[in-house]
Chain A
Amino acid sequence: MEIIRVRGLSVGYGETPVLENLDFDILSGRVTVIVGESGSGKSTLLKTLIGLLPPLAGAVVLDGRPIDFNSEEDLRNLYARIGVLFQNSALLNSLSLYENIALPLRIHRPDQAPAEEAKRVAEMLGRVGLQGSENKFPYELSGGMRKRAAVARAMVLDPEIFFCDEPSAGLDPITATGLDSLLKGLCRAHGMTFVVVTHELRSIERIADRILLLRDGGVRFHGGPGDLDKTKDPYVKAFFLRTANHDH
C-alpha cells in the first residue's frame, strides 16, 4: 500500500523547473531508492517530499490527503511523521549528542519527564551502537559515528517515513556497508518506510525494494530491483551497469 502518492509534481527553484510532471508512489514499509546522475534533481525532489521546497505544480499526497505547503498545520503534521538523515548529518555542533537526540523530544513532547527522556536517548544511542556517547559533541566524532547519531536523532520520535540524503556519502566502504545494514535493519524491525537518495550502486543493491531513476527532468525507471534485468531501456541498463557502455 502506498503511503505517499506523487501526482503531476513539478519541482524547481524560482520559476525554473528541475523535474516536471512526476507521477509515482512510495510504498509503505519498503525502501524506495531515488537515483540519478548528479544534477538530475534527486535532492530537489527530496526537499519537496520533506516539505522544505514547495512544488511548482502538482501534489504530494500523504495518506490520501494532499499536503498544503503553505499551511503551517499541514507542514507540522508532516514533520511529526517523518525523520530525515541529511547528507552531512546536520547535527547541531553546539549541542552534545544527548541534547541533539533529545531535541525533537523536547519540541514535540515538552511535558515528558527528564527520566523518560534520558531513557529514550540512551535507547536510541544503543540502537545505533553509540551507547555511552551522550556527552560527546558532534565535532568529536568520526563521519560514520555522526551519521549514526543523526539516524538516532531522526528516529527518536519513531517516524513513519524516514528520508535519507546520500547516507553513504563521504564514508569508507566498510562504514557505508554498516550504515546500510543499520538502516535496512531498522526498516525491517520497525516496519518503517524508507526513502533514500543515493547514487552508490552497491548501496542500492543492498537496500532497495523499489528504485526510482530520474533523468531529463522526469522519471526514467520505476520498479523493483528484479525489474532492472527485464528492462530494455539502454540508459537504465547502462546506469545500473547491466551493459558495458551507453551513449547518453
Chain B
Amino acid sequence: MKHFDNVEKFFTLFSDELYHTGRYLRRRQGVMPGAVVQQMFAMGYRSFPIITLITFLVGVTISLTSAAQLRLFGADVYLADLIGLAMIKELVPLMTGIMMAGKIGASITAEIATMKVMDEIDALRTMGVVPEKFLMVPRLIAITLCVPLLVVLADVVGLAGGMLVGRLSLGIPPLAFLKEVFRVVGVSDFLLGIGKTMVFGWAVVVGSGYKGFFISRGAEEVGTATTDSVVLSIALIIGLDCVFAFVLN
C-alpha cells in the first residue's frame, strides 16, 4: 500500500511539473528571474568535467577490451563501428544519465529536503509561491538545455578515447577511424542519444525532487533521502533505457 502511495506521489509530482513547465513557458511567472541560467551553470558547467572524464575513460576501456578480440579475427577496423555505435547510442546516454544522477540529482534532493526541514518550502507556500514550480521548473528547463551540450561533448571525448586506443593498439589512423564511425553512425543515432539522455535528465530531476519534497522526518533523513534519490534515479535511468531498447529494436 505504501509503495502504491509512493508511486502515486511520484506521478502526481511528475504531472504537476509538466503542467507548471507548460504554464511557465506561456507566462513567465512564479519562478525567480535568472534561476534557469543559474541552474544551467550548476548543472551543465559543474557536471561537464566529470562527464567528459568518465566517458573518455569508458571509451578507452571498451576499446581496449574489444581491440584484443577484434585483432584475433583480423577485424581491427570494426573497432570504429563498435565504439561509434556503442558510445553514441548507448554508453554516452547511460553514463551521462548516471553521472547526472550522482552529481545533479543528489544536490537537488539535498537542497529541497533541507529547505523542507528548515520550513523554507512552507515559507514559499505562504508567500503565494508554488514550490513545485519555483524550484523544479528552472531545473527542468536547465537540464533540457544542458543535455544536448553535455551529450555532444561526451560523444566527442568518448570517440576520442576509442580513437586513441585504435591508433596506439591497432594502428588505425584517426581519419580512417572517424570515416568508419560516420559511415555507420547516422544523424538519427546521434539525435536518439540526445533524446534518450534528455529523458534520463528529466527522470533524474523529477525523481530527485520527489525524494526531496516528500521527506517525512527531520534533518536526519536528508542524508538518507539524498542517497535514495541517487538509487532511484539510476533505477529509473536503467528502466527507461530498457524500455528504449525494447521499443527501438
Please give the residue numbers on chain A whose beta carbons come within 8 Å of chain B beta carbons, in ascending order.
Answer: 47, 50-52, 76, 79-80, 82-84, 86-88, 90-95, 99, 103-104, 106-108, 110, 153
Contacts and interface: CB of A to CB of B under 8 A. Distances in A.
Nearest to B34: A99
Contacts of A106: 32-33
Contacts of B111: 94
B124 to A, nearest CB: 8
Given A88-B118, A92-B115, A107 B123 contact: no
B197 to A, nearest CB: 27
Nearest to B122: A52
Counting chain A CB atoms within 10 Å of each CB, which of B29, B33, B122 scores highest? Answer: B122
A158 to B, nearest CB: 14
Contacts of A92: 115, 120, 123-124
B128 A84 contact: no
A150 to B, nearest CB: 8
Interface in B81-130: 111, 115, 118-120, 122-129
Given A76-B128, A80-B128, A103 B122 contact: no
Interface of B: 29-30, 32-33, 111, 115, 118-120, 122-129
A79 B126 contact: yes
A108 to B, nearest CB: 6
A88 B119 contact: yes
Contacts, number: 55
23 contacts: A51-B126, A52-B122, A52-B126, A80-B128, A82-B126, A86-B123, A87-B119, A90-B120, A91-B120, A91-B123, A92-B115, A92-B120, A92-B123, A92-B124, A93-B120, A94-B111, A103-B32, A107-B29, A107-B30, A107-B129, A108-B128, A110-B29, A153-B127
A80 B124 CA distance: 12
Which of B30, B118, B123 has the most A CB atoms < 10 Å from its CB? B123
B153 to A, nearest CB: 27
Contact of A84 (B32, B118, B123): B123
A99 B120 contact: no
A52 B214 CA distance: 15
B129 A103 contact: yes
Nearest to A100: B123
B127 A79 contact: yes
A84 B128 CA distance: 11
Contacts of A51: 125-126
Given A50-B126, A52-B125, 19 more contacts: A47-B122, A51-B126, A52-B122, A79-B127, A80-B128, A84-B122, A90-B119, A90-B123, A92-B123, A93-B118, A93-B120, A94-B111, A95-B32, A106-B32, A106-B33, A107-B30, A107-B127, A107-B129, A153-B127
